[in-house]
Amino acid sequence: MRGEKFVVVCYDVGDDRRRSKIAKILEDYGIRVQYSIFECVLTESLIERLKNSLKEVLAEGDSIRYYYLCNECVKKMESYGRKEVDKTIDDAVCYIV
């Protein structure tokens, strides 16, 4: 997936309504792997669109984190339980921020 990045997005939001809105936005961009954690494979423009959408919902005290994983990191990920990790991200350009 040339030009796409593997991004783990996690959030901590105190308000139920805002938390639901954030989850709804993220469902359009990735796969929910934990209650407040999503895995996404996105182009740079989709990442910016996602960030802008989430910023509109955030309030003081809320937190969203973006972790950019390289191909080698994605291949080393382990998962146990309900959902297995998709390790088929080929040629994604990724950064850790």
d(CA 38, CA 40): 6
CATH topology of domain 4-76: Alpha-Beta Plaits (3.30.70)
- In this prediction, residue 97 carries a pLDDT of 35
For 37-87, what is each residue's pLDDT tens digit? 999 999 999 999 999 999 999 999 999 999 999 988 988 888 887 655 454
- SS3 category, 40: strand
* Of 7, 97, 2, 5, residue with least CA distance to 44: 5
For 34-51, what is each residue's pLDDT tens digit? 999 999 999 999 999 999
Taking the domains of the chain in order of start, what are their residue ranges?
4-76
